[in-house]
Amino acid sequence: MQEHFHFTTDQAKIQKQYAAIFFFVSAQLSQIQFYLQRRNRHLVKQEDAVIIAIHLLGKLLGFSSERAWHRFVTGNLFTDEHFLERSRYNRRCRALRFAIKWIRHELAKRGQHHAYAVVDSMPLELCHAARMYRVKRFQGIADIGLCASKKQWYYGFKLHLQVTDQGLPMGYVVTEASCHDRTAAETVMTQIPHP
């Protein structure tokens, strides 16, 4: 799929998407620059905003392979200019992971780059089923609920999570195990609304 995309892409459209994301990242990065605290920032060949924008564009386009994405970038976005080699690019992305997560969350809050979001729940078991009627931890907070997919009862909590079509978690609610999914889903969807 990614190799097919590499040869059929519209280069002007990709450049326009990159420019829009770069503009957004540059504006957001100034707010968290203090928290990055990286050494030798003045010696880098590519500024942080470029690396973050390239990384975000790859995630939005659905690339899962780092090698395929780097090949795509050097072939379509930075054809004339010198871009970082793949290992250095990956190290910079790891060094900037705090900023990337924060900016992805800010971008997702705008809702313009995500087609839809999915809400699902999963059990958070606190003990084995044999001990669930005599456990004393979290009494009054946790309770007994049914996990429908496993067809078994458990003691604990239930995590309700909203995830975009790009795989980015947008909101969550932790409830007691007996809480119905529909009730918690309405609460999760009001945090950051998506279709």
Q: What is the pLDDT of residues 71-118, one digit of tens each?
A: 888 888 887 777 888 888 888 888 888 888 888 777 766 655 556 778
Query: In this predicted structure, which of 55-59, 168-172, 178-182 has the lowest mean pLDDT?
Result: 168-172
Q: Which residues contact 184 (CB under 8 A, 6 or more apart)?
A: 121, 158, 160, 173, 175
**Vertex 129: Cα angle to 128 and 135 (nearest 5):** 75
Cα–Cα dist 105/101, whole Å: 6
Query: Which pTM does this prediction carry?
Result: 0.57
Residue in this structure with the two tokens 């003691």, named with its chain if needed = 155
Cβ atoms of 108 and 142 closer than 8 Å: no
C-alpha span between 147 and 177 (Å, rounded):
9
Above pLDDT 90, what percent of the chain?
Answer: 6
Q: Residue 97 corresponds to which amino acid?
A: R
156 within 8 A of 126, measured Cβ to Cβ: yes
Look up residue 192 and give its two tokens: 């950051």
Q: Which residues pair with 172 in a beta bridge?
A: 161
pLDDT of residue 1: 45
Sign of CA pseudo-dihedral 5, 10, 15, 17: negative
